[in-house]
Amino acid sequence: MNNEVKRSSMNIHVLNNTTSCEARSGETLLAALVRGGFVIDAPCGGRGFCGKCGVRLVRGEVRPLAGRKGADSAGLVLACQVYPETDITVELPRHDASLRNEVDTPVRTVKAPARAGIALDLGTTTLSAQLVDMDGNEALDTYSELNDQRVFGADVMSRINAAKNGKTGELFTLINRQTDRTIRRFCEKWGISTLERLVVAGNTTMLHLFTNTDPSSMGEVPFTPVFLETRQFGGQELSLPVQRLTVLPSIAAFIGGDIVSGLASLDILAGADNSLLIDIGTNGEMALFHGGRIYCCSTAAGPALEGAEISCGMGGVTGAISGVRRENGKLALTVIGGAEPRGICGSGLIDVMALMLREGIIDETGALDDAYAEGFTITGTISIINRDVRQYQLAKSAILSGIKILCKNAGLDLAGISTVYIAGGLGFFINKENAIATGLLPAEFIDKIAVCGNLSLRGALRCLGEDTAFLAACERIIAHSVNIDLAADSAFMDEFAENMLFYG
């Protein structure tokens, strides 16, 4: 008879790391690592189908969930699918969260500004921050990295569902700690003793989590946010080393402060009529200025275009393939940072889909040719499989369908759009011809696209310099905005089904 008493927790040691944590009884390895402060990619939110939370079991034993596999011959396990059975030692995958920045080095001699502020764009996938000399309204330095909350899933609904399960505090802690780390990085580099101001733009869910506000009410009809208005804090209220903090206002549950900030930075109400802003990310947020009104909608594009839920996908970090083309019969790749390719990001995915269409590797339904049944190899172990094609189809159909329904509600033809502003990190690398060839964007946009980069961050930067005037501009935009609920539009699903096909 075994009289050993089962322990209520197991120690987890992480190789090459002085910090350890413990797994409570009934807690997966992923959940324990997250609670212990470790960041690991888990785009599916721990549901076991993305396969990206793999860690190597160096020592000890784990028990797989029912019907799941344990460690393979190399000791690799999916952290979300195993429970520690003993004290264990694990090796985490390579962690490179730093993104290619718009400003990689200071634009002048390193000298502490007398008054410093930070503009922060808080995206579902990335966090981007810009240090500003507030006296000269001069951008000094920029830093971006992947959002640490990705351990709870790649999209806002995964974060909302985690909050429903009591994880709001953990989500807040992750983004708060990351923001604090970013602030201190700037302050140490520039010798700043006091940070005067922080302005934060982001989607509505991220702004809730940033302020430690439960976003659960946005997870079900009628999708009601706790707040939409501008919020002001003293830094100490959110335990951040800054004197004053401003959170920019949102329009609706899924039309956030990032879109408001972007529209204000464009001075959209004073610009040309029939202008369209599209922010391509996990949510395809878009806004059309027509006839004195701003028609807005958000499509659930999913995280495919951010590199998540693609078998070889990754964010726009060093080693990500950002461009694919055929040269002299061979594939030519553009890789961020000029490094060895480790995966493919959204712009590279668009390029490879266009190439596969042109070469007949996929047909209009998205089916792979029989010769590529196991996938289309880009390089080494980086391949596109049938599930990846389907994820792209879902994303591109959501974006294109949203554009068409927005125009329909505004009473405007696609050809009537005068300017198309593409915002977000994807815009830096996007090939517009390939985006159109795959049906992500309509052909009518070919000569009207203006790639704008991070408009959300640009707006937060303007708020640092203009403050009251910029916030008033945000309020005017909100007053002129009409939110289109695509879920309640009977034509959206018809468009969505039709736009799943490739016509390129």
Question: What band does 101 get if pLDDT is binned at 50, 70 and 90?
Answer: very low
Question: What band does 103 get if pLDDT is binned at 50, 70 and 90?
Answer: very low
pLDDT of 459: 95
SS3 string of 107-123?
Answer: CCCCCCCCCEEEEEEEC
Name the average pLDDT for the chain. 88
Separation CA 425–CA 399 (nearest Å): 16
Mean pLDDT of 133-159: 89
In words, the CATH class of domain 9-91 is alpha beta
pLDDT surpassing 90 at residue 153: no
pLDDT of 136: 81
pLDDT surpassing 80 at residue 205: yes
Mean pLDDT of 373-395: 93
Q: 268: which residues sit within 8 A by CB, 6+ positions away?
A: 275, 277, 287, 289, 294, 477
Mean pLDDT of 437-443: 94
Beta pairing, strands 76-78 & 88-91: unpaired
Separation CA 167–CA 418 (nearest Å): 44
Question: What band does 102 get if pLDDT is binned at 50, 70 and 90?
Answer: very low
One CATH from 3.40.50.2000, 3.30.2290.10, 3.30.420.480, 3.30.43.10 for 116-247: 3.30.420.480
Neighbours of 404 (CB within 10 A): 18
Separation CA 249–CA 260 (nearest Å): 7
Separation CA 308–CA 346 (nearest Å): 9
**490: which 2 tokens?**
């009977």
pLDDT surpassing 50 at residue 105: no
Give SS3 for 504.
Answer: coil
pLDDT surpassing 50 at residue 98: no
What does the DSSP assignment read for 35-73? HTT-----TTSSSSSS---EEEEEES-EEEPTT-----T
pLDDT of 107: 47
pLDDT of 3: 44
- In percent, the amount of the chain with pLDDT more than 70 equals 93
Q: Where are the beta strands (DSSP E) in 304-403?
A: 320-327, 330-335, 343-344, 376-379, 382-384
Of the ranges 248-262, 296-310, 471-485, which one carries the lowest mean pLDDT score?
296-310
Neighbours of 102 (CB within 10 A): 16
Of the ranges 72-86, 170-184, 200-214, which one carries the lowest mean pLDDT score?
72-86
pLDDT surpassing 70 at residue 183: yes
Return the higher-pLDDT residue of 320 and 168. 168
Region(s) of the chain under CATH 3.30.420.480: 116-247
Mean pLDDT of 254-270: 95
Question: What band does 100 get if pLDDT is binned at 50, 70 and 90?
Answer: very low
**339: which 2 tokens?**
């490094």
CB 420 within 8 A of CB 449: yes
Altogether, the residues listed in the chain come to a count of 504
Separation CA 463–CA 137 (nearest Å): 10
Neighbours of 189 (CB within 10 A): 15
**Residue 178 pairs with which residues in a beta bridge?**
none
Radius of gyration from C-alpha coordinates of the chain: 23
**Peptide bond just before 241 cis, omega within 30 deg:** no
Question: What band does 230 get if pLDDT is binned at 50, 70 and 90?
Answer: very high
pLDDT surpassing 90 at residue 97: no
pLDDT surpassing 60 at residue 99: no
pLDDT surpassing 70 at residue 96: no
Separation CA 7–CA 84 (nearest Å): 11
Return the higher-pLDDT residue of 504 and 428. 428
Q: What angle do CA 178, 179, 183 make, to 5 degrees?
A: 120
Taking CA atoms, 454 is separated from 129, 241, 424, in Å, by: 11, 25, 5
